[in-house]
Each structure stands twice: as C-alpha cells, then as structure tokens.
Amino acid sequence: MNLNLPTLLAKHEGTFWFAPSASTFAEETDSFFMIILWISTAFFIPIVIAMIWFALKFRKRPGYEGDSTALHNNALEITWSVIPTLLVCWIFVRGVQGYMDMVTPPPDTIDIQVRAKKWDWLFTYPNGATDPNLYVPKGKNVRLLMRSEDVLHSFFVPAFRTKQDIVPGRLNTIWFHPTLEGQYKLFCAEYCGDNHSEMLSDVFVLSPEKYEEKLAELSRPPTTPVAFGQWVYIRNCKSCHSDKPGVINVGPSFAEKWGKEFKTTTGETVKFDEQYVEESIRNPLAKRSADFKSNATMTTQNLTPEEIAAVQAFIKALEDGDITPELDAEEAASQAAEEGAGESSSTNETATGNSNETT
Ligand code: CUA
C-alpha cells in the first residue's frame, strides 16, 4: 500500500486556528467556535472602547467635580440583560445538541477496540487484526470501544475534533465519521506518567477498498523470520525498546547490541545472543546491564517459541544491517518530502513505514 504522505498532508494542513478537518464533527465544531469568537469580539470591542472613554471622561482633574448620584435607565438595563441572556441560552442549546451528536453513535458503526496503556495504543479491528496505528475507512461511521490497562488516558484526534477520556475499569466509547483521506495525529491528552508525551500514534483515513486491503494485510504476519520478528517486535517490544542506536524509550535500545558483551549489575559478563534474548523475555530482570541506569522494570512477555526465535532473528538482523529500523510517520513524511524535492528516484524501502514491505 502506498500512501503519498506529503501530498495528503499538504492538501489539508488546516488553518491558523484549526487542525485539518477530517470528520463530520469538524465543520460543526469549527463554525460554532467562529460564531462564539465573533459574538465575543462584537461585545469586547465596544466594551473596551467605552471603558477607556469613561476613564478619560470622568478622570480626577483640577476644576472637575464628580457627581455622587447614580443615573438609572430602565431601557438600557433591560437591553444589556436580555440580549446576552438570550445569546448564552442559544449557545447552551446548540452546545448540548452538538454534544449529544458526539455521544450518540448511529446504529451502523464499524467497531474498533482500543487498548490504552502506558505508553502506547493498540487497535483491534473487526477481523481480529491488531496494529498500533488507527486505520479507518472514509465515509463510514466508526465507533471506538476503549479500555485502559492502567491509568487515566485520553484519546484525542484534533483532525476529527474528538476527545474522550479513557477511565480504567470502564468501557469508554467515542464515534466519528471520517470525511477526508489522509494521515493525522492521535495524542494522549491526559498526563499519564513519564512518557505521556510519547504516547502518540497515527490515524490513517483510507478509502473503503484500501481499508479492507489494509486489514487483510495486518491480519497476515510476514513469513520470513526477520520480517516476522519485526512484526512481533512492533506489537510487543517497541513501546519500551527502540530499534535505533542510543534511543532510550523506557528500556535499552535493541540496536547495536547483538553479539556484544556487557557487565550485568551482579558483575557477571554476558554476551547478547540467542540465549540472552530468550532468558530476558522469559525472566526480564535476571540479567540487567550495569550500564543501564534506570528503575524501569519489565514484565514477562507471553511470546511463543516461534515469536521469540523471530525476535532473536530481528535483533541480529538489526546488527548485521539486514533490516533497518522502521521510520516514524514524521520521519517517513520528511524523508518522502526530501525525495520528492531532489531528483533521487531510487526507491527507499525504509521510507514506507510499513513492516511488511521490508520483507
Ligand atoms: Cu496516556 Cu498520557
């Protein structure tokens, strides 16, 4: 699948005020925002002018005696009470209508399960496929059934104008109707710990055909050991262990480790090999590197022997240069933009941001 990221991003960058408008909520939200902004402006300017004018007119000065009696004008009092009250009531009613729209999903929705945890997202699609990115079809109603595994998180896609807290122990739902194909950002909008700011993901609005293709592709793991290893890595390890040299997410990076010897916290010298990876997955804290100063802990990962073998192959391939780390969406977009600008026409398979295409 080939998403032409720079073109999509360039077409609907949004405005000074707004993120791109990619759902039916965007138009409603933005027009309402603009109406309230203009109403506020219409009141703000005359009020400030009157304040300045009165301050000058009635300022203390030689030869000027203030008048201690207050004036009263019924018509004026009623006008400036009734007009703002009516406006505020109208804003309230329209706000409630908009809110009810957002919390009442239509009956025909595509349901996607969302698991939020420190500090990543996992989406499970109707066909059972899972992915850390959110793929949705354009022109269909999508409902998200969201659960948190640990603390309070918040699902926020500015381009859809949707935001919903994900309270642990509760099922939290949200729905939207994507209207514009493209790639957008998904944020966690609730402070949830050290790596809250890293709790990001990408949202892809695809044509219904592309969406079906993507789901079929996601439900089929790659078959070669290294590509399968990367597939397993992305789903189980990546949120804590980077595949780029020197990058610390929560745990140590997997890059440039294979075959190297290091000292553990108990003073033992250990080689980073199949044996070590196997043990670290089953019993993560058995051999901690003395160089890695962090209190971060890791829980035992439930991987099958095939999956562990694949992760071993993947980490080894990273060292051998047989596979390159996946680029993040932003890196892929900027790289694609550079390629588009220069005359370099050589295909760079790392720019696809898609694990299957590296097979
Ligand atoms: Cu999850 Cu902030």
Q: Is 199 in the pocket of ligand 1 (CB under 6 A)?
A: yes
Q: How far is the CA of 242 from the centre of ligand 1 (A)?
A: 19
Q: How far is the CA of 146 from the centre of ligand 1 (A)?
A: 13
7 vs 269: which has the higher pLDDT = 269
Q: What three-state secondary structure class fits 168?
A: coil
Mean pLDDT score, 159-163: 91
Distance CA 321, CA 315 (A): 10
* pLDDT tens by residue, 204-252: 999 999 999 888 888 777 778 888 898 889 888 888 888 888 888 888 8
Mean pLDDT score, 317-331: 69
Position 335 confidence tier, pLDDT thresholds 50, 70, 90: low
Mean pLDDT score, 332-352: 44
Picking from 92, 104, 230, 228, the residue whose alpha carbon sits closest to that of residue 173 is 104
**Segments in the chain forming alpha helices (H):** 5-11, 24-57, 74-103, 208-218, 225-236, 274-282, 305-320, 329-341
Picking from 315, 324, 226, 234, the residue whose alpha carbon sits closest to that of residue 276 is 315
Q: How far is the CA of 116 from the centre of ligand 1 (A)?
A: 8
Angle at 10 between CA 328 and CA 159, to 5 degrees: 70
Give the pLDDT of residue 326: 65
Picking from 232, 250, 203, 243, the residue whose alpha carbon sits closest to that of residue 305 is 232
Give the pLDDT of residue 56: 93
For the CA of 191, the nearest atom of ligand 1: 2
Q: How far is the CA of 144 from the centre of ligand 1 (A)?
A: 17
Distance CA 295, CA 54 (A): 63
Q: Is 117 in the pocket of ligand 1 (CB under 6 A)?
A: no
Give the pLDDT of residue 152: 94
358 vs 236: which has the higher pLDDT = 236
Give the pLDDT of residue 357: 36
Q: Is the pLDDT of residue 40 over 70?
A: yes
Q: Is 192 in the pocket of ligand 1 (CB under 6 A)?
A: yes
Mean pLDDT of the chain: 83
Q: What is the pTM of this model?
A: 0.60
Q: Is 138 in the pocket of ligand 1 (CB under 6 A)?
A: no
Residue 218: phi and psi, rounded to 5, are -70, -30
Give the pLDDT of residue 2: 37
Q: Which two tokens stand for residue 177?
A: 């109707």
Mean pLDDT score, 183-196: 92
Share of the chain above pLDDT 90, in %: 37
Distance CA 300, CA 302 (A): 6
Q: Is 190 in the pocket of ligand 1 (CB under 6 A)?
A: yes
- Residue 240 half-sphere exposure toward CB, CA atoms < 13 A: 14
Q: Is 153 in the pocket of ligand 1 (CB under 6 A)?
A: yes
Q: How far is the CA of 157 from the centre of ligand 1 (A)?
A: 13
Position 324 confidence tier, pLDDT thresholds 50, 70, 90: confident
Q: What three-state secondary structure class fits 269?
A: strand
Q: What three-state secondary structure class fits 102?
A: helix
Q: Which two tokens stand for residue 77?
A: 């009092």
For ligand 1, atom 1, which residue shows the shortest CA distance? 153
* pLDDT tens by residue, 283-309: 888 888 888 877 777 877 788 888 899
Q: Which two tokens stand for residue 55?
A: 């301050």
Q: Is the pLDDT of residue 254 over 80?
A: yes
